[in-house]
Structure formats: C-alpha cells, structure tokens
Structure 1
Amino acid sequence: MNAELLVIGDEILIGQIVDTNSSWICAHLGDIGVNVTHISVVSDDTQDIKGALSLAASRSGVIIMTGGLGPTKDDVTKDALIEYFDTELVVDKDVLIHVEEIFAKYKRVMPPENMQQAEVLANAEVMFNRAGTAPGMWIKKDDIFYAVLPGVPTEMKYLMTHEVIPRLADMHGREVHVHKTILTAGIGESFLAATIAPIEAALPNYIHLAYLPTYGQVRLRLSTSEGHHYDLSELEAQVNKYADAIKALIPEYYINDTEDTLQHTLLKRTERLGYTIAAAESCTGGYFSHLVTTVPGSGQVFLGSIVSYAEAVKEAELDVKAETIERYTAVSEQTAVEMVLGVKKRLKSDYAVSITGYAGPDGGTEENPVGTVWIAVTGLSKTVSTKFLFGKRREDNIIRAATSALYMLYRLISEENL
C-alpha cells in the first residue's frame, strides 16, 4: 500500500518553519506497512492544492494532507477540497460544541471566525480532534482514501494515532517490514563502515543496511525489502541476528538499539546506577544542558550547570585559577580539567563534564584555531580530557561539542561501572 503526503503552507516553502510532521508520519506509517512514496509541500493556493491532489490521486491509494485548516483567510485547504470533491461545507454540531467548550474553559469569547472550525466537507467522515479545535476529515473517492489533518503537530499526532493509523491498519495490501536501528557514537561513518564491512557483505539480498550520520553519531538501520518469502517472526530473527553481529564488532561505540537518543540512554543508565551529573559549559552556552533536559525525568540525575562564558565566571564560580588561564588560555586542557573538578565540587555531583573552546566565527589562535574544543569528564576515580578540532561553522561546533561531551560522559560511566 502506497501513500503520499501533501503538506500545505507558504510558511514551509519560505523557510519560516520546519516541516517535522512528515518525518513523524512516515515513521509511523512504515510501522504498519504503508509505504510513503512522495512528499509534496504545496503553497496556500487553491489551484496549487487541487493540482497536487490530482497528481497524488494518479499514483497513490492513500493521501494524507496536513495544514491549512485554521480559521484565518490564508487557510484555503477547505476551499480547494470543496472544488476538488465538488461538495459543500456543513456544520458539525458536535465539533461546534467542542470548540465552544474550549473557549469557555479559558473564559474567552469565541471569535466568529472560529465557527469555521466546525465546518466540514459534506462527503467526509469527521475525525474528532480532542487535542485542538480543527477536526480531521476522512474521505473515500474512487477507491482512494484521503485523510485531511491540521498542521499543528500535537493535533496531527493525535488524529494520526487515534483515527488514521487504526483505519489504515485494518486495510489489506500492507506489507509489514522489519526495521532495526543501532545507535553508535564516537566513530565516523567511514571508519564504522570499514569495521562492520564483513557483516554488511554477508547480508542477504532482502535485508538492507543504511547509514544515517549526524553530529558525532551514526545510526545504522537494518530493514527488510519487499518480495521476501519469510514470515514476520523469521524476518525479525534474521534482522536481530545481523544486528547482534554488528554490535559485537563495535562494543566501544555501541549505544543502543531502542531508537532512544544518546542523552536518554546516558541519563537512564546513570539513574539506574544512582548517580548524578553536573556540567560546566563555555563555548556551548548551555546546549549540553538543553540536550540533557529534553529527556523526561532528567531532574532525577542532572543537578544543573554553570555556563561560564567569561573568564571571570570560570574563576569565581568554578575555582579556575587565574594563572591557569593566563599561562594556558581559557581553551586548554588545564582549564577544562579545573572547570570540571570545580563544577563537580560546587554542585556536589558524582559525575561532571566541562566544555571550553572557540565556537567561531571569531576567536582562535594559530595554534588553536576556530573549532578547537577541550572537553573534560570526571567521575568516581578518574578524570579524562580530550581535544577536538571541529570546523569553522559556529552552530555545527556547538552541537558537535555537546554531543561529544555526552559520549565522553557515557563512556566514563560505562567504564567505571562494568
């Protein structure tokens, strides 16, 4: 079963916002054996939307639309759908009551424009949206299924989870594939490929390996293709066999095979061990702390951080000696070590990490150019420091430094708690 996504909105085409809905939808459709073959971003224009719908209907059996269902004049998806399906709008009384109750709950007067939220296509089955005001719509025409969803991510996810996916999961024509991902860190893509080359060469033709690199990490994805002759349990066994073989070759760089992030794995392991973490950041400006605190429950492990951007703050808050900075500079192994020991003592943590460097675009020296970063980690019995030389792009350097710090801390905790 093939599906196509139509993402409606000028704000995406001009780069004002990033389309995160499509990746979420693709991942969840893949889990139930629905293959997304095309993704189109369409402007807020009636004719453009109608044209995109016609093209999608010529090649896909399922069309999922997101965006353009709001109450403002720039939301024209419903207008395009009226013309495309040759139908009209009707007021759904249950949706209207729901919208009115939302405004009453917050003691706000409902603007007349929000009445439009209760208007749905006469030929549509209403998908009730308990996460917002705009309902979803499910339409069947000429054996093609259309799901029309709001673009707000929380509302789209609710309707996909509770309405669209259950409908699609009951349909025939799906071929469920097996996927397995392995998260690695601390090893580059080319070195990783060379290390696991014997396993990759031994893969049967119905199992494919993909490399998905990002800052300081590479996620490996093993997936089965169409046309195989094994049942689901046999496929899972085959994929798990090769995944285990890969993991055995990279014990130092293997993080998980659960789809979790590096920071999630780090925090959950630390929590199980009963330890705490603190951070001292300079060039990353708190980005390490941001990554850590995206994990629900991080407060059980992460005590806090000191963003010591200025040298005076390093000295006053982290007990970095003035003579250390004067002799070795603020971007040095000596400074990084004093920072990490200082924050561990100050916040009374079991483990700590420090990051100091030249993120750019200015700064740096001939000996230590932009992109030079020192990271130190300390734990129960030892302190480890490493010098990195990244690149010249400030944003990349910040992300890579924070990710490298996560990995170094993860490795130290793993080594000290075998």
Structure 2
Amino acid sequence: MKYVIAPDSFKGSITSIEAAKAISRAVRETDGQAEVVELPMADGGEGTVDAVLLSRGGDKITRQVEDPLGRVIEASYGWMEEEKTAVIETAAASGLPLLKTEELNPYEASSYGTGQLLRDALEKGAETIILGLGGSATVDAGVGLFQALGLKVYGENDREISRVGGRLDRITKVDATGLEPKLKQVNIIVASDVTNPLLGRDGAVAIFGPQKGISAQHLETFEAGMASFAKVTAEAVKHNVAEEPGSGAAGGIGFLLQSLLKVEFRSGLELMVELSRLEEHLVGADVVFTGEGKVDGQSLFGKVPVGVARAARMKGVPTVAFAGMIGDGLDRLQAEGLTVVIPIVDQPMALKEAMAEGERLLYTAATRAMQLIRLDKREIGRETK
C-alpha cells in the first residue's frame, strides 16, 4: 500500500517534520511493504522553510539579525540556488516563539530582523522571494522590516525615528525614496491565510494584538496609532490599502507590503500544496495521513488537514487526520474528504504534559490507525473468498 503523510505542526509540541516522521515510523513498523511519501506541510507560518526545503531541496542560510526586541540572534531562510528563490518566514526573526511570555512588548517589538533576511536574499541574487506571514510578535505594520530595506520615517519636528516598534502614532512622515532598488526587480509572493484588513474589529490590533501582549485597556491606543500611520502612508504613496484582504497579516506587515511594492498574495496552504507536489504524490495512494494540534469546524478556513483532504478527495483517496484536540463541527469536515479524525491523547493528562509527549502520542495513535487498516484489509480478503 502507498501512504502519503502530510501533517502540519502540532504547535507548541512538535514540528510538521517531526510529526511526519512519527507517523512514518508507525506505518513502516506495521507494514514492512509500505510505500511511504513524507510531505510535511505548513501554511506560511513557522515551519514553512523546513517543509519547502524537505520537499524541493535547497540550503538553509543562517545570518545574524535582530530579534523583535533588537537583540542579535541567528535566523535562517531557505535558498534554492537553481531557481534563485528564497523562502523567508517572519517567525524566524520576528516571531512570538523568540520571546518569553514576560518579554512580550508590543510597544518595542519590531520586524527589522525580517527585513535583514530579505536584504540578504536580495544581495544573494534572489529573483523570487516567498515571504511567509505568520507568528509575528509585532504590530509595527512592517515599518521595521522596511527600515532594514531603506525606508525612512519621521516624527515631531521632522526628526527621523530609528526604532518605532508599535508606537506608530509617533510617525508623521514616510519616505520610501531610498528603498532598495532590487525590490522592484524581484517577484515577491506573500504566503498567508490571513485575510483580515488592517483596521477595525477584524483588524491587526483587535484580532491579533492580545496574543502579542496588548492588554484590553490599550487596544484603542494601538488601533488609533495604526489608523494614523495608515493615513500618513496613504498620503505618501497616493493610495490606501488598509481595507485590502491580508493588510492586517503579521501585525500589519501585509499593509506596508501592499502599499510600497507589487506583491502577489497566495494562500500559504495552497502554495505549500503546489510546492510539495502533493497532487502528483497522491497518484496511486491508498491512504493519506495528516493532522495538527486542533481539528474542528474552523479547520475549514485554510487549515492543513482540510486542504490536504480536499486534494486527496479529488483523487479518490481517503484521509485520516490526527489531532491533539478535537472540537465541534467534524460533520462538516467529512464532506470535504476528511474520512476520520483520531485524537492522539489516550488517557487523562494535563495540556502541558500532552504537548511534551506529542511525538510519542502521535506515533502511538498512528500505530493504532495502521492496525485498524490492516485488520480491515484482512476482513475484506475473507469476504471476497
């Protein structure tokens, strides 16, 4: 039998690569004759670079950059030399995983480090840059990112501001004349499943601000600053994209990308399905295994298990999803091709313990699933005799 293994990460527990290997081990140990294809997935957030490189080949380039708080760290991006393509995650240099809970500081957090990675890719000769927007610790609307690429912003008395962070209300003028010229020569594909606008109740601050450390009593302050900056930027570039889908992605990075450059927004999941050649690998497959930390009705909106199941359904291949947690709405997922969802937690345990044991729990659940599949094959064989 042929098995395609295409899970997302179980966030906070195991990466998509670790998840694929755990499932693969269970499959091979249960069925010594199995043909196994490992295709770790991602949606533009953390893990996108590793997933792309595993599927397509390439190198990981590591550079010293600034983290969200300006500390020097090492961060990596993917590089495919033959295609002159770089794959960059905002999470690598500007992500929430880089900060402890007590370090979250939306006033100071900057996306400058992501801009440094972009600059390095441009200097390396990138002709295409895939930029995954997800998991950022910032609400700086991408100001830091573009400052690393030559943008200048000014405040009171026309004094240049070197580090803005989330204090966007300080900005009174935006000057993009010094932007790196190579930005106009490169094809930039933005991988993101976030379609939120920049402002309002569905915007970058209201929806994503709290997870980045904005307290309830300060949401209005940050929203006002974001609105002020959007107006200043619109006056500078002669158009306003604050209401465009995706402008609220990654703390507003999507807004400045659309304001200053010609970029193509793609669903992170759809792009990953394309880059991994998932549909090609589904030919001749008997079962697809996928999964992520939580599977419920919301998985219909750009989540990996449903995206994989939809592709498999088109090829007539059943899909099994593993989940750390199962919510409501599973009946709607079956219509999309998700045959069954299997919880990996097999006994009462605290969330912290379950996350620490994620790889083992997933392996055990995949082993049980394989035993059921082999039992079904034996029963079918008896019925046909």
TM more than 0.5: no
TM-score for both structures, normalised by structure 1: 0.24
TM-score for both structures, normalised by structure 2: 0.26
Higher relative contact order (CA closer than 8 Å, sequence separation 6+): 2
| Structure number with bigger Rg | 1
